[in-house]
Amino acid sequence: MSAGDRINKLRRQLRRDGCGSLLVTNFVNVTYLTGFTGDDSYLLVTPQHAVLVTDARYTTQLAEECPDLELVVRSPATGMLSAVAELVSRLAIRQLGIESGTMTVGLHQGLLAALPKVQFEMTSGLVESLRIIKDRGEMAAIREAVTCAERAFAVVRAALHGDQTEKEVADDLEHQVRRFGGSGCSFPPIVAVGPRAALPHARPTQQHIGEHDFVLIDWGARKQGYMSDLTRVLITGKISPKFERVYQLVLKAQQRAIEAIRPGVLLCEVDKVARGIIDRAGHGGHFGHGLGHGIGLEIHEAPRLAGSQTEPLRPGMVVTVEPGIYLPGWGGVRIEDDVLVTRGGHEVLTSVPRDLEDCWVS
């Protein structure tokens, strides 16, 4: 889908919501609508115009990335507030939507003072709602991000040894992602050994991989601006019957949840499938986060697989499925894959093996 198509979809959304124009201040949303990968730039969308307010640092980049986009290039002496206010006045806009989730209070107050005749409308999630359904180009980019992450992981896993620290493994993942064409990791990789795996967002430390019998690795790659997100637990020593029970329980919860993914199923129902399996095994209190989230230009975006989400799955959504059990003082197990909702059901985009026998590091 072209940038023009996306902007026109936004215009239709604005008409349905009774809002004539929108000032897009979320840089990720600006990228989605225009293809411009820089920042410090706002997009004004009206029924007739789509104008990017930017500065001279980006003129060459804009000519390459979106040559047909109308620009207002502000001078170093002109602030963003003044440039936006002047543009809104020139286009005679009387009603203007603003992204309430990203516009600062200071900018809002400044616009109110500079444009007293303009009626400002608070909006929430207008562009984000368009981003929920991925087009073919976005799906292709996510697939590439998945492949990049998996190739990086394969190299890191092959070289894994007990003398490495969590941080060294995380740093190697970053390096390998770039070697395989990624612009970087989707987020700072999580590498957590033994009891530290009970921390869902553990930060890598100087603890050595060989100090415990298993390590949790959560990582992803960014490619063409799009993200992937995976988690695996690797066995580096001798596992206990408890570890095997917990791992198989989490794997079962994930598999059943993935099997439930198809158009029309409510987001909360998919979460309920996995959570019910873990609850019935007595670990409901040890699974303290939602089952999954959307991925795309951001690593966490709509939709969310959680008990509070009552919207149905639709073709083109891409979500993670990542149940986990976290036992303080012992450790944790999380298994995560990226799943595309298709017209006929679903497609698991990730392919790193996840059966227990595949987790041993030789």
Give the number of C-alpha atoms closer than 13 A to the C-alpha of residue 70, restricted to the C-beta side.
11
Whether 184 has a pLDDT exceeding 90, the answer reads yes
Q: Mean per-residue pLDDT for 228-237?
A: 97
Average pLDDT over the chain, rounded to whole? 96
Q: d(Cα 309, Cα 213) in Å, to the nearest integer?
A: 37
> What pLDDT, in 10s, does the model give residues 139-152?
999 999 999 999 99
pLDDT computed for residue 13 by the predictor: 93
Q: Mean per-residue pLDDT for 3-10?
A: 92
pLDDT computed for residue 362 by the predictor: 74
Do residue 252 and residue 348 come from a single domain? yes
Do residue 69 and residue 169 come from a single domain? no
Do residue 43 and residue 179 come from a single domain? no
Q: d(Cα 172, Cα 314) in Å, to the nearest integer?
A: 37
> What pLDDT, in 10s, does the model give residues 317-358?
999 999 999 999 999 999 999 999 999 999 999 999 999 999
pLDDT band at 109 (very low <50, low <70, confident <90, very high): very high
Do residue 120 and residue 151 come from a single domain? no
Give the end of a domain, one of 71, 96, 131: 131
Do residue 199 and residue 116 come from a single domain? no
Q: d(Cα 246, Cα 151) in Å, to the nearest integer?
A: 27
For the chain, what percent of residues have pLDDT higher than 90? 97
CA distances from 313 to 75, 102, 306 (A): 46, 26, 12
Q: Looking at residue 167, which CATH number applies to its domain?
A: 3.90.230.10
Give the end of a domain, one of 65, 96, 131: 131
pLDDT computed for residue 18 by the predictor: 87
Do residue 82 and residue 198 come from a single domain? no
Find the domain containing 121 and state its range.
3-131
- Structurally, the chain folds into a number of domains equal to 2
Do residue 188 and residue 79 come from a single domain? no
Residue 158, burial from CB neighbour count under 10 angstroms (0-12, 13-18, 19+): exposed
Do residue 50 and residue 165 come from a single domain? no
> What pLDDT, in 10s, does the model give residues 28-76?
999 999 999 999 999 999 999 999 999 999 999 999 999 999 999 999 9
CA 343 from chain center: how many Å? 22
Whether 1 has a pLDDT exceeding 90, the answer reads no
Whether 20 has a pLDDT exceeding 90, the answer reads no
Q: Looking at residue 94, which CATH number applies to its domain?
A: 3.40.350.10
pLDDT band at 315 (very low <50, low <70, confident <90, very high): very high
pLDDT band at 2 (very low <50, low <70, confident <90, very high): confident
Q: Mean per-residue pLDDT for 214-230?
A: 98
